[in-house]
């Protein structure tokens, strides 16, 4: 799977958030993709990219270098993310940041 040829925005990690009291999943990663700020659950990073955001809470730069995510504004509410530079893209669903 590859991103389409339409306009794509590269996303950058803003922060790694711990779970809030009422959340069922353990934490979220907040990313900025152009003007849009989105949240992706830790479980999506673990399942789709085999990355544990919790290991990088004190080093966002290192975490950001482990993968790249692309947002297609006209697409679904998901990011296309790739671990390293040679792997396949995986779809990671997101929520708009609250």
Question: Which of 11-15, 28-32, 77-81, 82-86 has the lowest average pLDDT?
Answer: 82-86
What is the reported pLDDT for 85? 78
pTM for this entry: 0.84
Digit-coded pLDDT (tens) for 59-90: 999 999 999 999 998 888 999 999 987 788 99
Beta strands in 2-77 (DSSP E): 9-17, 28-33, 36-41, 67-71
Q: How many domains does the chain have?
A: 1
Range of the domain at 20: 9-96
Given a contact cutoff of 8 angstroms between Cβ atoms, the answer to whether 7 and 73 are in contact is yes
Domain presence at residue 76: yes
Domain presence at residue 66: yes
| Nearest residue to 77 via CA among 31, 46, 21, 43 | 31
Domain presence at residue 1: no
Domain presence at residue 4: no
């Amino acid at each position: 799977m590859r991103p389409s040829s339409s306009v794509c925005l590269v996303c950058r990690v803003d922060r790694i958030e711990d779970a809030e009291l009422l959340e069922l999943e353990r934490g979220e990663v907040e990313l900025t993709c152009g003007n849009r700020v989105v949240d992706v659950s830790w479980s999506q990073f673990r399942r789709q990219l085999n990355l544990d955001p919790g290991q990088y809470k004190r080093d966002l730069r290192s975490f950001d270098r482990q993968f790249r995510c692309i947002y297609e504004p006209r697409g679904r509410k998901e990011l296309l993310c790739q671990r390293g530079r040679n792997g396949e893209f995986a779809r990671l669903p997101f929520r708009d940041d609250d």
